[in-house]
Structures are given as C-alpha cells and as structure tokens.
Chain A
Amino acid sequence: MRIGNTFFIALGIGALWGAIYTVVFSIVAMLITGDTIIPDVGVALLSGAIGACSYVLYPPVGRSWFWAAVSASVALVAYVLLATMFSANSVYSGLTFSTAVVTFLVCAFSWHLCLKGMGAESQARYQLEVILLRVLKGVGFVFFSIVVALPFYVMLMTSLKSQQSLLSNPLDLSIDFSQDPKLLFRSYIELFSKYQFGSFLLNSTIVSVVTVLITLLFSIPGAYAVSRLRFPGKEVLSRSILLIYMVPAIVLVIPLYAVFSQLGLRNSLLGLIVVYPATTIPVAVYMFQGYFRGLPYELEEAGLMDGLTRVGVIMKITLPLSLPAIASVSLYIFMIAWNEFLFAFMFLDDPAIFTLSRGVQSLNTSEIPRQHLMAGAVIATLPVLVLFLWFEKFLVAGLTSGSVKG
C-alpha cells in the first residue's frame, strides 16, 4: 500500500478526536461522579493519532466495525504506555481508566465514520473535502450537543443538590438516588410549600390560556378578512401587521406602566391579560393569513354556491380545515405568554398574583439558595418543554411560519 496525504490526514483526525474526547469525557466523568479527573491532552492526542494510523493502514474494503474496535484498543494501549511514561497523573485508578476506555471507543467510532472508504494512499480533492466535511459534522454534533445540553443539565442537577455539597464541590453534580425522595426534592417541596409556587403555576396557566383564547378569538376573523375578503385598506392592513409586530415591548412599557398605574390595572393579572393578547394578535394574524391564503378557495366557493353564508363558510369549511394552524398558533402563543418576562416583571408587585417568570425572578436574591432558584427554573421550563416535545410537529410549523419574534 502506498502512503499518501490521507494517511497524514488520518493522523490529524485521530489526534483531533483524541484531544476533543479526552477533554469532553473527563469533564463528563467529573460532572457525573464529582471526582477530579485531569485530562492529559498531549498524551491523548498522540494515542489518538496512533490509533487512527493503525486504522487507516488496514485496506478500506474489508475494514469493518471490528477493525475500528481493534484501533480503539491500539489507541488505549498507547495511551496507557505513554501516560505511564510521560504523565504526572496515574491512569490506573478505576475512573481514569474507564474514562480512557470510553474516550477511545468513541474516538474509534468517530474516525471510522470520518475515514469510511478511505485508504492511506493519496486522494483527490473530492475525497479530501468529503473527509473534511465529515470531520466538521462530527465536531459540530459534539459541540452543539454539549452547548445545548449543559445549561439544562446544570439547571436540573443543581436543583436536586443541597447547599453544602454545592459550595464544597461545584462540579459534583452527581445525584444520590438512594436517599429519601423527600430529601432529594426538598427544593421543590419548599418552593411549593413556602414560596407559593403552586399559585404562580396557576397564575401562569390562567394568563397563558386566556391569552391564547383571546388571541384566537380576535385573530382568526381578522386574518380571514385580510386574506379572503375584498375591502379598501386591505393591503395597508396586511402590511402594517408585520410592522406592528416589530414594535418592541420595552418601548411600550413606559406608557403602559404610566397609564395602567393610574387606571389601577398595573398590579393585576387583568393588566397582563390586556397586554399579552395585544402583543400576540399581530403575530397570530400574520400566521393565520399565510395559512388561509394556502387553503384552496374553490372549497369555500362551493360552500357559498350551496347557500352557506360567509360566516357559515368560515365555521363549517375554513375552521375545520385550519385545525393544524390553530394548534400551532395556539402552542406558539401559549409559549410566548408563558415565557413572557418583561411585563410580568414591571407590572406585578404582589406575590399572590406572580406568574412563574416573575416568581422565579423574585428568587434571585442572595438570601435564597441557588438550588431553589434552579428548581424554580425547572418548574418554569418543564411544562413548556413537555408541551413542545408532545406537539413538536405543530410547534415547528408555528415557529417557521411566524416566529421571528422572541
């Protein structure tokens, strides 16, 4: 076999994955067990290169998963030898060793995917770019997964910890599931018993559901008129909907604060129920109007021919056809109302009527331990994430049709 550029690229890939995964899995192991594992990047880099080298020297035709496993063992042996020779840290402790095993297994998996079908000989530009893109994709997957998951993981784990263990070792996010569930969920229990999180949850639900209902009630007729009926001013209206949707909440806060203070609407859920639909209706009209335009008009014409009134057509033909759109708009509006922070923060002073956003914000003081704050964050996040996962298809449709807002 001739050795060409791909061989050296394979070395680079092995080194890259060795370095990335040793850091990643050391940190993962640290976060899971709470013990300290110091990644030895230099050694892992070299062993990764050696492993990938052993992999790429085998002809690509017969190279299967088995050979990937062999190359993983080669890398692991190299790691143990190199670490005993050069590294200050011992590799023989159980945790460090098992971390290394996982690291190189995943490394081998990665270079198996990156170098699939590539021998050690020289390759043309096309093949080199294929390899490059595979590596980029791999790095991308690792990067995005970690970056997206980490905050949520830290949030959840912190909420289950106690104050002392958090301060003594902030990296120890391990959870002792053998303990009494009452002790495990103490932050949650305390939030619901002492900090009225039950009523916050209820307030948020009321405000969000009412917002969705009011929004639907006003936006469906409005959107239908704009998309189907002919009347003077239609174009201007359909254009200005998007413009209104661009007006930032922070610009509205001062006048609304001033006026609502004088009307006595400020410190009340009613105030929020007035403001939220007004900010969501333009979004909803925008989304509905796009959907209505896509519905075949012939169906409605047939209805009109058969003697239905316009309102009858809307009730009997358009609305039943629009159920998917109604679902996605409702979910999207619910999400906006549930997550809304600014108006809740500015308007609500009385803890009895706090929404969840406002309630979690009120936990952000130095007297309240941070696991309570994180438990509050989890309580605020969980319903909306569950709803999202449940109705993901609808929500994604809603997001793509209207959600430039946020």
Chain B
Amino acid sequence: MKVPIRATTPQYEPQAVPPKGRGPLGAGEMRLAYTMVLPTLLIVLSVVLLPLLANFWISFKPVQLGDLRAPTVLSSERIRPMPEAVGDRAEISYRLRNTSQRGEIADSTLVDSWPAGLVPDGELDSRCQLSNDVLECNLGTFEPKQKDTLKIPVIATQEFLDNPVNPRADKPVITGDADNVLTNNVFTLKNYRKVFSASEFWKVLRVSLYYTIFGTIGALLFGLFAAQLLSTTFPGRGVLRGFFLFPYVAPVIAVAFAWVLILDAGPGGTLNAILMKIGATEGPINFLGRRATPISILGLTFNFPVALTTVISFEVWRYFPLSFLFILARMQSMSSETYEAAEIDGATPLQQFWYISLPQLAGILAVIFLLRFIWTFNKFDDIFLLTGGAAGTRTLTVDIYEQAFAVSNLGAGAAVAVVVFFVLLVSALLLFKFSPQDDG
C-alpha cells in the first residue's frame, strides 16, 4: 500500500532542506542589497540606458544641430537721449529679436527693474505695466526672426541726474514658450529613408565589416604570436611583456598622431623617407589618403585598399597587446605534464602546439574574438584621428559623427546609431549564446 511520504514523516524530525521563502534575515539582506545596488543602477540608467532610448527618439525627429539652441528673445536696452537737466524728455527702448530662424516663441514676457528717477511720460505701452519699480510686459508671440521695439517715453528727475543708471547694467528677464524640437510631437521617417537610400550606406557597412573582421583576426593572430614568444621564461621577459603592452596603454590621441607623422606622404613622413632612401619605392605612398591601388598578382588585377589596410594595421597594432595578455595568462595556467607526455611519445613542437596548446586556447580565443569583434565594430577614435573617414575608411561609427556633426543632421546621425546598436545587439546575443560560462 502506498502511503504518502509526508504522512510518515514525524513532525519533529529536522528537515534536510533549507527553509523556503525569505526569513527576516533574508529580507534584511535584500533591503541592504537594493540600497547598495540602486545608486549604481540609477547612474548607469540615466547616463547609458536613457540616452540609448533618447537615441531612438531622436532618430525619428527632424533635428538639426542648430535646433539644439532653444529659440530665445534677445533684447538690447538703451536710454536716448541721455537726460542732462531735470524735466528732459527721453525714451527707454528695448530692441527685441527672436534669434531662431525656425521656431516661434509664444507668451513671451519681459521683466526689468525700472531705472530710479525716471517717470513715465504719458501712457505706458499697452502691453506693459509698472509697479514697485518693476516693469512687466506681455509681448505675446514672436514669429521666427521677428524683430520688435518697445518704446517708453520718460521724463528725468533730479534723482536720475544724481545717479544716472546704465541701462545695460542689469539685463531684463525674458521668458517665453518655445517649441522644443526634442520634445515636441513632430516625428518623421526621413532620417531612416535618407540613411538607407544613400548608396554610400552599403559601402560604409561593408567597410565597417572589413575593418572589424580583419582588425579582430589580425589582433588575435598577432597576439597569439606574441604570446608564443613570451611563453618560455628568459631574462628580460617581464620587461618585454610590459613593453608589448605600450600600444594599448598609451592614449589613442598620441599614438594615432605618431602614426600619422610616420605615414605622412608629404616631406617629413618617416616611413616614406625610409622607403625612398633604400629604394623600395620611387615616390611617396599616401598610406592614409589613397583609396586603392591596382595590384596584379598572377595576371589578376585587383584594387588593393591602401588607406583601409593602414587603418586596420593600426587597429591590429593597438589591440594585439590585449589578446596577447589574455592568451599569455591562459598559457601560464596550462599544466606542463601534457607536454612532457607528448614529448615522450615523440610529438614534434608544431604537433604539440597544434594538438595540445591550440585546443586549450580555443575557449579564450573565442571569447577574445567575440569581445574584440564588438569593440572593434564600436571603434570610432582611431579611424577618426587617422583619416577622418576619408579615402574609403568611413565605417558606421564615423558615419554617425559625419551625419550628426559634420553635416549637422542630428536625426540622421541617430538613425545610423540605431543601426549600429542593432548590429551590436545581435553580436552580443551571439556572444552570450556561445561564450563558455566561466571563461569570460
């Protein structure tokens, strides 16, 4: 007969499993955890995730760079003619102008302190009123570029002559409701249409992929090579390891300009001078400015992208230290026993590398590849500083900058940024799918 197990268990027997649910200790721990995590989370949310969402928003808006300066009414105030005797008539005038070319300003008001010792001559302007030495005017709506002048005739008294006020000394406060392009309800698909319809876009995407793939693989291979060099101990190894990391540690701005100087095609370019001195080339090669040069191998002619290759070489140069460091760390944690066994079995050095080292390195190589792939795809500074995206080196990230700040079309730039974001999202998902849990 089957008896439910629970029924046979006496009540007083201690349970072997930890209690379910959250006890008072657990609740306290949870509260503490949230207080510790929340500030961090808020900062990251507000400076990383919100902008990310804002980027989507902007990509649907017709925003130009100039629109960021909110439309305001500027005023210049003066008193003419300057009164010289009691009872002189003068005029306070405010010249007002809407600075914006496109946005109107509604319900503008002007508030200014009234110069002591001046008395209004006759009726005030109907839009204004004076109380407690404060002038308040409702100026209504300013059309784009609209100009206006507010004139108030006054009579001077002795008080003003004793202590004449420079009207520019205190500025009037002008307020108004301007339509903010960033927050209004005007949306458009123009940005995306512009981005995708340009023939340039697919070229840019292709350059981006070339740059990312070759840059990543190059950095990985050179890192692997460099790690093999330093895998055995010898005097000076520590120094050399630090030295190999220099390209990564130094500021990008410094090394990029050093490369520009070395590769310069004009007089003063070190590499071209060397090549010409030893007779390797006839004239200078414009490494950073030449889009492509025809090269024929075995009768096949193809266009070799010069500037793109240079930029990829820079990427490899700057980031091989990273893969080098990771691979070296992994190699130092390998046990030597396998190699000793292989040695006894007669495995040659290359076989040992191919059948023992590489399989053990496969995990870390995959992780470095995926992470570097994403980071190389994200790279902006390096190309921007080397070529500025000229000569066939414009990648998507440089394109964001070009669209948003060189052409001043923020919306289009944001639309490219959205494309970049989605490519990255896919890569990141792949990364999580394939990366080993504990190797990253």
Assess the A144–B229 pair: CB atoms within 8 A: yes
Determine if B105 is an interface residue (Cβ-Cβ < 8 Å): no
By the criterion of a CB under 8 Å from any partner CB, how many residues of chain A are at the interface?
A: 106
CB distance from A131 to the nearest CB of B (A): 10
Assembly CA distance A167 to B326 (angstroms):
42
Within 8 A of B (CB), among A233-265: 234, 237, 239, 242-244, 246-259, 261-262
Assess the B229–A27 pair: CB atoms within 8 A: no
Set of chain A residues within 8 Å of B43, measured between Cβ atoms: 218, 277-278, 281
Mask, B16-46, CB within 8 Å of A = 1, is 0000000000100110111011011101101
Mask, B377-406, CB within 8 Å of A = 1, is 110110001000000000001001100110
20 residue pairs of the A-B complex, CB under 8 angstroms, read: A151-B262, A155-B261, A170-B269, A221-B39, A234-B33, A244-B49, A248-B377, A248-B378, A248-B424, A250-B400, A258-B68, A261-B69, A274-B47, A278-B43, A285-B40, A339-B252, A374-B261, A380-B251, A381-B251, A405-B375
Determine if B202 is an interface residue (Cβ-Cβ < 8 Å): no
Determine if A316 is an interface residue (Cβ-Cβ < 8 Å): no
Assembly CA distance A237 to B34 (angstroms):
11
Apart from A225-B37, A226-B37, A251-B55: 15 A-B pairs, beta carbons within 8 A: A125-B348, A137-B228, A148-B246, A219-B40, A237-B41, A244-B44, A248-B420, A255-B52, A259-B182, A275-B47, A278-B43, A339-B250, A374-B261, A380-B254, A399-B248
Assembly CA distance A399 to B241 (angstroms):
13
Assembly CA distance A399 to B327 (angstroms):
12
CB distance from B347 to the nearest CB of A (A): 9
Assess the B248–A23 pair: CB atoms within 8 A: no
Assembly CA distance A196 to B253 (angstroms):
18
| Residue in A132, A339, A392 with the greatest tally of chain B CB atoms within 10 Å | A339
Tell which of A155, A256, A406 touches B248, judged by Cβ atoms closer than 8 Å. A406
Assembly CA distance A402 to B43 (angstroms):
20
Assess the A140–B229 pair: CB atoms within 8 A: yes
Assess the B249–A377 pair: CB atoms within 8 A: no
Tell which of A125, A152, A388 touches B258, judged by Cβ atoms closer than 8 Å. A152
Assembly CA distance A332 to B261 (angstroms):
28
Which stretch, A4-12, A72-80, A320-328, A357-365, touches the partner chain B? A357-365
Tell which of B57, B243, B375 touches A404, judged by Cβ atoms closer than 8 Å. B375
Mask, A152-174, CB within 8 Å of B = 1, is 10110010000000110011010
Determine if B5 is an interface residue (Cβ-Cβ < 8 Å): no
Assess the A230–B225 pair: CB atoms within 8 A: no
Q: How many contacts between A and B, using CB within 8 angstroms?
A: 291
**Contacts known (A221-B36, A248-B397, A342-B381); A400 close to B251, Cβ less than 8 A:** no
Binding site for A on B (CB under 8 A): 26, 29-30, 32-34, 36-37, 39-41, 43-44, 46-52, 54-55, 57-58, 63, 68-70, 180, 182, 225-226, 228-229, 238, 241-255, 257-259, 261-262, 267-270, 273-274, 277-279, 317, 319, 322, 325-326, 329, 346, 348-350, 368, 371-372, 374-375, 377-378, 380-381, 385, 397, 400-401, 404-405, 410, 413-414, 417, 420-421, 424, 428, 432, 440
| Residue in A244, A282, A404 with the greatest tally of chain B CB atoms within 10 Å | A404
Assess the B262–A254 pair: CB atoms within 8 A: no
Closest B-chain residue to A338, C-beta based? B251
Assess the A148–B243 pair: CB atoms within 8 A: yes
CB distance from A238 to the nearest CB of B (A): 10
CB distance from B25 to the nearest CB of A (A): 10
Assembly CA distance A259 to B50 (angstroms):
11
Determine if A112 is an interface residue (Cβ-Cβ < 8 Å): no
Interface of B is mostly: helix
Assembly CA distance A333 to B58 (angstroms):
30
Closest A-chain residue to B231, C-beta based? A137
Determine if A232 is an interface residue (Cβ-Cβ < 8 Å): yes
Assembly CA distance A39 to B326 (angstroms):
38
Closest B-chain residue to A361, C-beta based? B253
CB distance from B233 to the nearest CB of A (A): 14
Determine if A389 is an interface residue (Cβ-Cβ < 8 Å): yes
Assess the A224–B250 pair: CB atoms within 8 A: no
Which 7 pairs show the lowest CB-CB distances between chains A and B?
A278-B47, A248-B378, A222-B40, A377-B254, A255-B54, A221-B36, A255-B51
Tell which of B44, B325, B417, B440 touches A281, judged by Cβ atoms closer than 8 Å. B44
CB distance from B80 to the nearest CB of A (A): 34
Mask, A123-157, CB within 8 Å of B = 1, is 00110011011000100110011011111101100
Assess the B424–A385 pair: CB atoms within 8 A: no
Assembly CA distance A356 to B257 (angstroms):
14
Assembly CA distance A206 to B272 (angstroms):
40
Set of chain A residues within 8 Å of B375, measured between Cβ atoms: 246, 404-406
Determine if A98 is an interface residue (Cβ-Cβ < 8 Å): no
Assembly CA distance A132 to B228 (angstroms):
14
**Contacts known (A230-B26, A374-B257); A357 close to B350, Cβ less than 8 A:** no
**Contacts known (A140-B225, A232-B30, A388-B245); A360 close to B254, Cβ less than 8 A:** yes
Set of chain B residues within 8 Å of A155, measured between Cβ atoms: 254-255, 257-258, 261
Assess the A278–B33 pair: CB atoms within 8 A: no
Determine if A101 is an interface residue (Cβ-Cβ < 8 Å): no
Assess the A151–B259 pair: CB atoms within 8 A: yes
Determine if A83 is an interface residue (Cβ-Cβ < 8 Å): no
| Residue in B36, B182, B346, B350 with the greatest tally of chain A CB atoms within 10 Å | B36
